[in-house]
Chains A and B, each alone.
Chain A
Amino acid sequence: MPRDFLDPYSRGNSICHRLPDRLKILLVLAMIITALFVPPENWPVHGCMAAAVFLAMTLAGIPLRYLLVRLMFFFPMIMGLAIAVPASTGFTKGWDVMATVLLRGTLSFMGVLWLVNVTPFDRLLVALRQLGLPQMLAAILAFMYRYIFVVFDELERMREGRRARTFSKQGLLAAWKSNAQLIGMLLIRSMNRAERVHGAMCARGFDGEIRTLDS
């Protein structure tokens, strides 16, 4: 499995990638809070911010196609939520709330999308740690990130095995059962692996305290 299939553009070398990570986090945070507080009537402000985000995306070398695909996944979700507001009044009012939610939501989403695509996860973790994330949480997060790839590989192996053994199309209930079985077995295998890893860590002197080279 390719190492960066989750965040394909975060390991670039553009000016955005080279900015200090903590600065980027605080910048995006400030932008979102501004977006949340500026009323929708002042839409030029939002427009300027959107232009800035778009510029930043271009500077970071994030292709437009990726952006559109992500927006395509994001938009139905926030749309479903936003449409519930006018729907709750029988489509008589609530349109302005919906517009506000859409405007702010999309803008904030773009901001965070930029952040996560110019900051690799490990560096984001270090930055969050410097911003006060508890050490144990950071350690578990680091483990989790590492294992996502391992567990994905395991899942893919099991799915391949299933595909090799399943010739006919499954019914709905059968599909649910076999999928649940897949997750159940994956869970058991993952826990077994975690125990093996834990054993190996203990064998190397792990005492519950995470030590890194720069701490």
Chain B
Amino acid sequence: MHIADGIISPEVCAGMAVASAGAVGFSLRQLKKTETTKTIPLTGMMGALVFAGQMVNFPLVVAPVSGHLLGGVLASIILGPWAGCLVVTLVLVVQWALFADGGMVALGVNVFNMGVIGALGGYAVYAGLRRWMPSPRGTITSAIIAAWLSVLAASTMFCLEFALSGHHDYSLPNLFALMTTFHSLIGLGEALITGFVLSVVLDQRPDLVYGQPSLDNMQTETPRRSWQATPLRTAVVGLMVALAVAGFLAPFASGYSDGLEAVAEKMGFDAHVDADPQVLVLDEYQVPLGSEDSWFMSKLSVSIAGIGGTLAVFAIALLLGRGLKPGAEAGHAT
């Protein structure tokens, strides 16, 4: 799951890092608002737990291969979306700082895919679904669906970032289909583990789950308006659903898009035969002096398209969410 350096282009990495920094900063601010001193020890412990939990191997049918927990949705369910996002971010930082897992420049990308889309988005799905199914069984079901979607959405997000990186010699719809198929299987494992673990927690200490009625004074410190659909949550649900739908439609659309892409490629190749078609690389040898501008412009346009596209999607989703705000039905945009 960890994207190493060298896969996503630096421009996209920069854009994603900005987006991630914004989301993490926002999460920090939300946590500071709760005015509890508990955040630091609790979040730190949860991070250590997710880290250790990943060392527990779950055997698969194929003998030497095993899966493990990713933990984004689980952390969000226990500590709430903001702390959950932080937990995933910090687990990624520690894995980077101890094992060099996941790239340094690509850290922002990883945080965005797994922390923002995975934990925040996953929590939004979970919260939305739980409004329908408030029973313990419903809680577990919501968590399972959210965990599965979070993995799928992260892989979808990766495909988008990869496409924006300006790699050319591949078929995006097919890559999409490949990644989606692969990750819907991984997601199945994550969903099952999350469901099992949550059922244990609900059985033993239901008060530990964020937003549950408290048994001790733990939650009296932070009065929680659980399950209310805030515009942000609604927006994130919308984004998630859109990504999931796109992920699902991709395999079916691939045949059609392949033809379309082939045509576009042909025409694009004919049109730009003397411009550098490979925006991925800084190639001083192939770019004739005159087209220095066009190279720069194409590079710039790729990065602007990347950042702008992501922001536009968020802006649209946020606006939609704001429009839906007062309705009780706003939590589950379907």
Q: Nearest CB to that of B201 among chain A residues?
A: A184
Which residues of chain B are near A116, meaning CB under 8 Å? 96-100
Q: Given A144-B51, A175-B59, A197–B41 Cβ distance below 8 Å?
A: yes
Give the CA-CA distance A141 to B95 in the complex, in Å: 11
- A152 to B132, alpha carbons, bound, how many Å? 37
Q: Interface code B96-124, partner A: CB below 8 Å = 1, 0 otherwise?
A: 11111001110000000000000000000
Q: For A155, give its contact among B31, B56, B57, B282 (CB under 8 Å).
A: B56
Give the shortest distance, in Å, between B155 (CB) and chain A (any CB): 11
Shortest distance from the beta carbon of B156 to any chain A beta carbon, whole Å: 14
Q: For residue B175, which residues in chain A have a CB less than 8 angstroms away from its CB? A: 84-85, 88
Residue total for A at the interface (Cβ-Cβ under 8 A): 92
**CB < 8 Å: which of A141, A187, A208 contacts B197?**
A187
Closest to A200 in B: B41
B interface, over-half SS: helix
Q: Which residues of B contact A201 (CB under 8 A)?
A: 37, 41
Query: Bound state CA distance, A70 and B100, in angstroms?
Result: 9
| Distance of A92 Cα from B95 Cα, bound (Å) | 36
Q: Is B192 on the interface with A (CB-CB < 8 A)?
A: yes
B169 touches A137 (CB 8 A): no
B7 and A143 form a contact (CB under 8 A): no
Check if A54 is an interface residue, CB within 8 A of chain B.
Answer: no
Asked if residues A185 and B204 are in contact (CB atoms below 8 Å), the reply is yes
Question: Would you call A77 an interface residue if the criterion is a C-beta within 8 Å of the partner chain's C-beta atoms?
Answer: yes
B99 to chain A, nearest CB (A): 7
In the bound assembly, the distance between CA atoms of A144 and B103 in angstroms comes to 20
What does the 1/0 interface line of B23-56 toward A look like (CB < 8 Å)? 0110010011000111111111111110111011
Q: Which 9 pairs from chain A and chain B are nearest by CB?
A: A184-B200, A143-B44, A104-B6, A180-B196, A108-B5, A39-B281, A147-B48, A105-B6, A194-B45
18 contacts between A and B (CB under 8 A): A37-B10, A38-B281, A39-B283, A40-B281, A81-B3, A84-B178, A96-B169, A121-B97, A136-B32, A137-B89, A140-B47, A144-B91, A175-B59, A180-B193, A180-B199, A197-B45, A198-B37, A207-B37
Which A residues are within 8 Å of any B CB, using their own CB? 6-7, 28-29, 32-33, 35-41, 70, 74, 77-78, 81-82, 84-89, 93-97, 100-109, 111-113, 115-116, 121, 124, 134, 136-137, 139-148, 150-152, 154-155, 172, 175-177, 179-188, 190-191, 193-195, 197-198, 201-202, 206-208, 210
